[in-house]
Amino acid sequence: MSPAQTFSSAPAIHMPGYMGKILRVDLTTGRMWDEPLNAAYARDFIGGSGLGARYLSDFITAETDPLGPDNPLIFMTGPLVGTSTPAAGRFSVVARSPATGLTGEANSGGFWGPELKRTGYDGVIVTGQAEQPVWLEIREGRPPTLHEADKLWGLDMYATQDAIREIMDDKRVRVACIGLAGENQVLYAGVMNDHGRAAARTGLGAVMGSKKLKAVAVTGRAKPPIFDDGGNKDATREVTNFVIEDITAQMLRLGGTLMSMDVGPIVGDVSGYYYTTNELNGIEDHINAGQLSDALLKRHVPCFRCPIACGREVELPERVEGHIDGPEYETAVAFGPLIGSSSLEDATYAGHLCNLYGLDTISCGSTIAFAYYLFENGIIDESVTDGLELRWGDAKPALTLIEKIARREGFGELLAQGAARVGEALGVPELAIHANKLELPFHDVHAHSGQGLVYAVSTRGACHMAGDVYHWEQGREAPEIGCGYSYAHDESREKMEVTANIIDFRAFTNSAIICHFEEVPIPYFLKLWCSITGWDWRPEDISRAGERIYTLKRALNHRLGLTRANDTLPKPLLEAYETGPTAGYVPDLETLLDHYYSVRQWDAETGKPGIEKLLELGLDAWVFELWGHHAQDWAKAG
């Protein structure tokens, strides 16, 4: 029997680029209802992680338990999603993060996001907790339905997708789901979709597991309304042709994201041996795009309407039947250089296991590498690691630990809580590499001063997607929005202005939503954007929207307990390497922060966005919440 449930429909609002309504689901009561899209929210916060954060702010307080019924799980698309825009087949998942306690967000590619819009919804907001496992079916033209998921609970994410398509008797169905890690509420479990795509970071799969929501299946044929069909066709043609001819896109098409292993080690951008060096001792000769293509690759895999096709399917015939998802750059580094391993096959298989169980490969790999570091330095031994010898260069124990983590068994129970908590439990918190309890990605702060700053001030914890400074310093430019190249070790206020502009732009692109790899010139993009939304935007409107979104998330984090003390990096990262491409250099984080606060017009003592800046961005409601009686004093003085 299906859980008791009711559904109330409601008309959508008309807003070009949007379907005009949100599906609300209360798993505690089984009640579901349509809610008209809040047009003011959408206009100011766009979609994706921005619009998700705006809705999130209506639900949570400092007391909200990330794994409790009051923490909403928000799936959100954006105005570009589901249109003919190339590389815009993405969606965001937003909630309070159980890993960090701050705003949690993750986004994923594939086809699930566009398919959700084809059901007639811009997003889904799930609250409450089901008594027994359930999955949600959303079909265009039919009431949404909750189904019992007892027979799905315990399945890996690949088997879950297949099973639901069989139940629905429709191969077109797209499924977002959790694996064993999400069911067991591993703090870095992700939400998986479209074979091996993942909204991986900040533990939102654990939130989904806490609600006993195994999957959300979507299918439909509705089309987003376009403001100017003719203009959109012309703009889409221009953008698509540009992407096809763009040299960076061609490199990604040829090598996938792993091509960063062909370039990064030269400038010291790749972290090795648990962030203790950027000298890889020849590992880069074995783990790189060419080796993947020559030894394992079977085909390139695109997301929805993407001409780049950076995804990879590979074969490991001695370990897995059929094709599996190939490793992205971050996955390959996590289970390669970060543990001193040069085995591409082991790194590929590790990524496959993380996908099976639904684990964020960055946090999982980094936490396991921390265990290797502690073992190599004599801080833990086999009595702690369930008899495993964690030696640099040997990836086999890491493969065992992945399963232990997903099942929360033995040593895996501790590792399932992430590096910061591992460090605290073992009495060495200063050795754990993270920012705000989110493990660092693998673009080294010694190579790019601005990247360290981004990790420290990212609203979801250490995040390279919040501001890909390393990418812009490879030569990308967008002068219309103040983004472009600057000297990698520059620590000036001007450098922090560029870094802030990059962060704002990424806040916008993560809300629009569009893939970071689509490097379309701003004039081309604006022509496309305006043809879809009907908004008469200029470059400064992109920057302002991004700044508003980023500042909202910052303000929300202050509600959740963030202070200036959170804007930091672990001590080991702030020590110079003695050898290697960046020998002798370490970013002066305090100097960078002082400049950054000045650029942002944030208060130097508290780290809060200033009153004038909040008002300038239309965030008036946050003035009193952040500043209390100081806001009244400010108003009287003004």
User: Residue 475: what pLDDT?
Assistant: 81
Please, is 561 exposed, middle or buried when counting C-beta atoms within 10 Å of its C-beta (0-12, 13-18, 19+)?
exposed
% the chain with pLDDT above 90: 92
69-98 average pLDDT score: 97
Q: What is the arithmetic mean of pLDDT over 317-330?
A: 93
Quick one: which H or E segment has residue 8?
strand 6-8
User: How sure is the predictor about 1, in pLDDT bands with cuts at 50, 70 and 90?
Assistant: very low
Task: Compute CA distances 258 → 269, 270, 405, 443, 516, whole Å.
Answer: 13, 12, 26, 13, 15
Q: Which long-range contacts (CB under 8 A, 24 or more apart) does 414-423 make?
A: 415/367, 415/368, 415/371, 416/181, 416/184, 416/186, 416/187, 416/188, 417/187, 418/99, 418/187, 418/188, 418/363, 418/367, 419/363, 419/366, 419/367, 419/370, 421/187, 422/367, 422/370, 422/371, 423/370
Beta-carbon neighbour count of residue 169 at 10 Å? 7
Tens digits of per-residue pLDDT, 19-38? Answer: 999 999 999 999 999 999 99
The three-state (H, E, C) secondary structure of 275-322, written as one string: CCECCCCCHHHCCCHHHHHHHCEEEEECCCCCCCCCEEEEECCCCCCC
**DSSP reduced 3-state for 487:** coil
Q: Can you tell me whether residue 25 is helix, strand or coil? A: strand
pLDDT tens, residue by residue, 426-448 = 999 999 999 999 999 999 999 99
pLDDT confidence of 2, banded at 50, 70, 90?
A: low
Q: Virtual CA dihedral for 56, 58, 59, 63, nearest 10 degrees?
A: 100
Other Cβ atoms closer than 10 A to 194: 23
Res 635 pLDDT > 70: no
Name the band, by pLDDT with cuts 50, 70 and 90, for residue 364. very high
- Phi/psi of residue 92, nearest 5 degrees: -115, 150
**Is the pLDDT reported for residue 3 higher than 70?**
no
Whether the pLDDT of residue 196 is over 90: the answer is no
The mean of the pLDDT values for the chain is: 96
Question: Is 90's pLDDT higher than 90?
Answer: yes
* Fold designation for 449-518+538-637: 1.10.599
Same CATH topology for 247-432 and 449-518+538-637: the answer is no
Across 118-141, average pLDDT: 98
Q: Which fold has domain 6-219?
A: Aldehyde Ferredoxin Oxidoreductase;  A, domain 1 (3.60.9)
Whole-number Å distance between alpha carbons of 488 and 585 = 11
Mean pLDDT of 87-100: 96
Query: Element (H or E) spanning 96, and its range?
Result: strand 91-96
Task: Let me know how many helices (H) and strands (E) the chain has, helices first.
Answer: 25, 18
Sorted by where each begins, the domain ranges of the chain are 6-219, 247-432, 449-518+538-637
Tokens coding 238: 């221009």
Q: How, if at all, do strands 103-108 and 213-219 pair?
A: unpaired
Q: Are strands 323-325 and 311-315 parallel, antiparallel or unpaired?
A: antiparallel
What single letter denotes the amino acid at residue 500?
A: A
Residue 247 reports pLDDT greater than 90: no
pLDDT at res. 543 = 98
pLDDT of 582 > 70? The answer is yes
Judged against a pLDDT cut of 80, whether residue 504 lies above it is answered with yes
In whole angstroms, what is the distance from residue 362 CA to residue 87 CA?
23
Band the pLDDT of 574: cuts 50, 70, 90: very high
User: Would you identify the CATH topology of the domain 247-432?
Assistant: 1.10.569
Task: Report whether pLDDT(376) > 90.
Answer: yes
Using the predicted structure, report yes or no on whether residue 486 has a pLDDT greater than 90: no
- Cα separation, 421 vs 427, in Å, equals 10
What are the helix (H) ranges across 513-579? 522-533, 539-559
| CA separation for the pair 387, 411 (Å, rounded) | 10
* CA–CA separation, 3 and 377 (whole Å): 52
Overall average pLDDT of the 148-159 stretch = 97
| 457: pLDDT strictly greater than 90 | yes
